[in-house]
Amino acid sequence: MDVPSIKIDLIHWLTQLQDKSILKQLQGLKEQQESTFDLSVEQVEELDSRLDKYKNGEMKFSS
């Protein structure tokens, strides 16, 4: 089944769906899919710095 067919099938199924708990689960999945977060410039720089240290073997780890 190709993507457009799957979408049409799901749309049809959703229009008939009456189970509120499934609808809420689907809404949660949709929100989770849409949720993204942006890092500040400082956060990106810090992560890049840490990655560089890791790649250069300059990080020390402990258990």
Say how many domains are in the chain: 1
Task: Identify the pLDDT of residue 59.
Answer: 85
Domain range for 20 is 3-55
Residue 60 placed within a domain? no
Residue 50 placed within a domain? yes
Task: Identify the pLDDT of residue 37.
Answer: 75
Tens digit of pLDDT for each residue in 20-59? Answer: 999 999 999 998 888 777 888 999 999 999 999 999 999 8
C-alpha–C-alpha distance, residues 55 and 48, integer Å: 10
C-alpha–C-alpha distance, residues 43 and 59, integer Å: 18
Structure token pair of residue 63: 């258990």
Residue 11 placed within a domain? yes
DSSP assignment string, 4-59 = HHHHHHHHHHHHH---HHHHHHHHHHHHHHH------HHHHHHHHHHHHHHHTT--
What global pTM score does this model have?
0.50
Residue 62 placed within a domain? no
